[in-house]
Structure 1
Amino acid sequence: MDIANETDTMAASFDLVARQDQAEKDISVLRSDVDEVKARIDKIGRAAARPAIEGAAKDSPEVKGFVDGYLRRGSETELKSISGMVQSEGGFAVPREIDAMIASELKEISPIRQLAQVVQVGSAGYRKLVTTGGTRSGWVSETSARLETEAPEFAEIAPPAGELYANPAASQGMLDDAGFDLEGWLANEIAMEFARAEGSAFVNGSGANQPLGFLSSPTSMAGDAVRPFGSVQYIGSGDANGFSTNPESGLIDLVHTMKAGHRQGASWLMNSSTLSEVRKLKTSDGAFLWQPGLVEGQPDRLLGYPVVEVEDMPDVAAGTFPIAFGNFKAGYLVTERSATQILRDPFTNKPFVHFYATKRVGGQVLDSAAIKLLKIEA
């Protein structure tokens, strides 16, 4: 009996040791799995915290399908299968990454777009209410009767809009070249054409299927208090053919016809020909009115305000408005649909492939008190 008991005890001991060894092995494997999971989590965390590589958005399936599938080869089926895009009458909507490239180029090229208030709209018509008169106010004692508050006066702004288009072309050889930066080239070409057409319309647009330019808006010599809503105030230069013998006085008067609140952020607008004349103007003591930017990147200044060159402004001539002074962020409104559409056309002008791009853009003077003009007249 004693030998049998000892045998059972030894067997139980060996079994316990084996179980302990297995448990230690299981714990070791579990720790290894936990360490592996932690390493993966740390790797994901580091990747998430890492700054995005410039141009990485171009590798998205939507962009690759649009550029390689549709723009290079004209494959609508591949584009639809990758990104789910649906063609409309005007073509396919440009992916937002490429549309952002176009918008960035537009802002860099078009000076009015840099200065004006730009809003994105989702429909063809956009309307905005502008307050033209405030409510009644006054001083009274604690127990005195208050006069009834009058309703504020409003005017409606509905900027005229039109379809802006560009139609750049590329040869099939360019499209077949894998090293050709198609999206960059296309964004630059569209932005250049859009900026050229926009710049002209924002200044001189007729308002018929295009924006109404601020120089095409009604003008008046009356001050802000009595001038009709929507009309832009101007003052004369003092000379029927150019600047007077005392140009500093006229330019100072132009600045101070604007309210102090609008003068914060105001700029001069003129073309390079007018700027060449302005740079020669001197005060009575011989000092130049124009001051160059002292630091690289800072704009040149006239009477302390930045000068922006806008080539669509007219030259100095009798009856023209060659100089504008204004806070265009408050004074001019640009409306646009956010999506640019592109239609690929390989048939009209063989062997070239045209990319017909369209975008709806509108514009109008928002607050005429924020824009002042100098007219060449006696």
Structure 2
Amino acid sequence: MAVELKDIEQVAEEFGKKFDEFKSKNDKRLEGIEAEKSKLAGTVDSLNEKLSEYETYKKQLEDELAALKRPGVTGAKSKEVVEHKAAFGTFIRKGTEDGLRELEQKALSIGTDADGGYAVPEELDRTLIEVERDMSPMRQLCNQISISTSDYKKLVNLGGAASGWVGETAARSATGTPTLAQIVAFMGEIYANPQATQTSLDDMFFDAEAWLTDEVAYEFAQQEGAAFMSGNGTNKPKGILAYTLSTNPDATRTFGEIQKVHSGVAGDFDADDLINLIYSLKAGYRRGARFMMPQLTVGKVRTLKDGNGAYIWQPGLQLDQPSTLLGYGIAENEDVPAVAADANAMTFGNYNRGYTIVDRIGTRVLRDPYTNKPNVGFYTTKRVGGMVTDSNAIKVLTLSV
């Protein structure tokens, strides 16, 4: 049954009622005598879990509604693209390779790797990245680019006057020479090897391409997500938390280092720490900024209050309105470390400015019907990279003194 706006409004209403009940019980827990605290704590934890369920359900309904409104692909496809897609489908189901290499070369504007399997059709490649995006908080927030080469480099300005103000007829004096630095994406090849029986592939009602896309996207999203957050940059993207973290502010910190803000307590934080984290980011970056943390940490921040006794987490009760923390959205990411002593347990920033994900065009598939009989393996590879492009745009909360 199609999702309707009234479905989201009903869930949002229940979401709001649960938050009111949660606040009431949590306030009593905080104010109650010791004998009642233990009993109320269990109720508060249960309500906290319910808030997570409602928040997740509301987001799922919003995504489904957006998908129904999303326009389909328009425009005629070239003969080469259509033929390539049909030939690739036959290759997936039957292993037939007749003419596939030639059709691949005609349909794609990039070269082919003779020993690297066959490139998936362009439409399937785009769908794969879209599915990965739906599964990955980092892909939803970070800058993404596609390239046709094996590596990506970018020049960034580290400062130095390269412009100035003059009158309409005044002479133009020389400006300073800007300091430029070249940053390089940390690239690696990610792979997955989903298996299907030949019987299922022979079934005309079995959508082999959709199955392959979903299986591969899930595996890629899991591996990529961890790498974008903490990958060491060796044959994989370099993640945000793998860069050098420094307590120095933007004005004195070395380019490429990310500022960390200490909570002052090992393994814990309060509302003031989150305010300090927000204002360590320059005002220009705060527009579009978000918190990023795992779900258990979201549960913790729901219980925090500011100095006036108001809850700093607020539920999003309108269509496409996310829940907020001190006025900023929250991205749940299980690849961010959990609350613990010395953990980098939260990030805050403008991820579109701060981190770039690089996808090389051309996901490749090698069909293997021999290794794991009677199953058919689809060894799928893609080259992907990542790098911090503006180290002033992201801040890290470290739970230490």
TM-score when normalising by structure 1: 0.80
Residues 323 and 180 of structure 1, relative CA distance in 2, 3 Å threshold: same
Residues 137 and 354 of structure 1, relative CA distance in 2, 3 Å threshold: closer
SS, match of residue 114 in structure 1: helix
Residues 135 and 81 of structure 1, relative CA distance in 2, 3 Å threshold: closer
Distance in structure 1 (CA, Å) of the matches to 2:182 and 2:228: 19
Residues 334 and 82 of structure 1, relative CA distance in 2, 3 Å threshold: closer
1:168 equivalent to 2:190? Answer no
Residues 52 and 197 of structure 1, relative CA distance in 2, 3 Å threshold: closer
Bigger Rg, structure 1 or 2: 1
Distance in structure 2 (CA, Å) of the matches to 1:301 and 1:373: 18
CA contact (8 A) 2:363 2:382 kept: yes
SS, match of residue 384 in structure 2: strand
TM-score when normalising by structure 2: 0.76
Return the letter of the residue paired with 1:67: G
After superposition, where does 1:322-361 map in structure 2 within 5 Å?
322-361=345-384
Residues 143 and 117 of structure 1, relative CA distance in 2, 3 Å threshold: closer
In the TM superposition, residue 336 of structure 1 has moved relative to its aligned partner by 1.4
> Partner residue of 2:97?
76
- The equivalent position to 2:236 in structure 1, one of 210, 213, 220, is 210
Distance in structure 1 (CA, Å) of the matches to 2:165 and 2:114: 60
1:235 equivalent to 2:240? Answer no
CA contact (8 A) 2:164 2:175 kept: no
Work out the percentage of aligned pairs sharing the same amino acid: 45
Residues 122 and 137 of structure 1, relative CA distance in 2, 3 Å threshold: closer
After superposition, where does 1:51-66 map in structure 2 within 5 Å?
60-66=82-88
After superposition, where does 1:139-218 map in structure 2 within 5 Å?
148-218=174-244
Structure 2 unmatched runs, 5+: 1-70, 107-111
User: Alpha-carbon deviations, 1:30-71, whole Å to 9, x = none?
Assistant: xxxxxxxxxxxxxxxxxxxxx9789x97x9322121112x11
Distance in structure 2 (CA, Å) of the matches to 1:52 and 1:115: 23
> Partner residue of 1:121?
147
> Partner residue of 1:34?
none
> Partner residue of 1:221?
247
Q: In terms of mean alpha carbon deviation, does 147-156 or 317-326 score higher?
A: 147-156
Residues 76 and 139 of structure 1, relative CA distance in 2, 3 Å threshold: closer
After superposition, where does 1:6-17 map in structure 2 within 5 Å?
none
In the TM superposition, residue 142 of structure 1 has moved relative to its aligned partner by 8.2
Q: In terms of mean alpha carbon deviation, does 327-336 or 83-92 score higher?
A: 83-92
Structure 1 unmatched runs, 5+: 1-50
Return the letter of the residue paired with 1:76: E
Return the letter of the residue paired with 2:141: L
Return the letter of the residue paired with 1:325: F
Distance in structure 2 (CA, Å) of the matches to 1:326 and 1:360: 27
Residues 285 and 73 of structure 1, relative CA distance in 2, 3 Å threshold: same
Residues 88 and 232 of structure 1, relative CA distance in 2, 3 Å threshold: same
